[in-house]
Amino acid sequence: ETKPDLTPVTEADQATEQLLREILSQERPLDEILGEEFGETSTASNRRWVLDPIDGTKNYVRGVPVWSTLIALTIDGVPVLGVVSAPALNRRWWAAKNAGAWTRALGAEPKRIGVSGVHELSNASFSYSDAIGWPENGALTSLNSSTWRQRAYGDFWSHMLVAEGAVDVSAEPELGAWDMAALIPIIEEAGGKATAFDGGPALRGGSLVATNGLLHDQVLPLLQI
């Protein structure tokens, strides 16, 4: 089965989101819910849970282990809590406002994470998902040529690697709120910065660029060429 944008949707996507919705409806009945598969459940609350049951469905379908479940809480439209659970990688990342960013591997103790200290773009590692959807202004080419190392780790993983300090810049040009709401608190609590390509709030801009913070002002002009 595919969505109107031709991305795949599986029974697992729908079943996972349905389960999350049932739990949230029981535990937080007054909160709104926005999910990739079933849309929005509106209430009068300023609290909204944002769900992507399987981020990286194409990977999931093909047996590539880079996929995850994304859960976020926004208050007045601002992401304040994020959870990224990647069972095929045996990893989980999470953060809450003013509580730091954390990760845990299966069987290990939780570990606080932080971004890198790289401050020159020419020394930076850059990761993205793929070349599809980028503006025809040469932004991807400019980022590739301006950075030291380029990899397409893809989807949530690019951004979690920024939060861990293994990658310095990550960017994706076309995202829904469910694709990035959970990522933003983790990146920010790790000491990084996450915005839309124009520098505004990512959730309103439909794109996401994440950096260690030190590089953000160097990256944004390359996205506006």
pLDDT in tens, 136-174: 879 999 999 999 999 999 899 999 999 999 999 999 999
For residue 4, what are the CA distances in angstroms to 1, 64, 213? 10, 23, 36
Q: Is residue 52 located within the same domain as residue 125?
A: no
Domain that holds residue 199: 121-223
- Choosing from 60, 87, 108, the residue where a domain stops is 108
Q: Is residue 78 located within the same domain as residue 128?
A: no
pLDDT tier at 6, thresholds 50, 70, 90: very low
3-state SS, 131-195, equals CCCCCCCCHHHHHHHHCCEEECCCHHHHHHHHHHCCCCEEEECCCCHHHHCCHHHHHHHCCCEEE
pLDDT in tens, 53-72: 999 988 998 899 999 999 99
Name the pTM for this structure. 0.93
**Residue 22 covered by a domain:** yes
Q: Is residue 145 located within the same domain as residue 171?
A: yes
Q: Is residue 210 located within the same domain as residue 187?
A: yes
CATH number, position 146: 3.40.190.80
User: Is residue 28 predicted with pLDDT exceeding 60?
Assistant: yes
CATH number, position 48: 3.30.540.10
Number of compact structural domains in the chain: 2
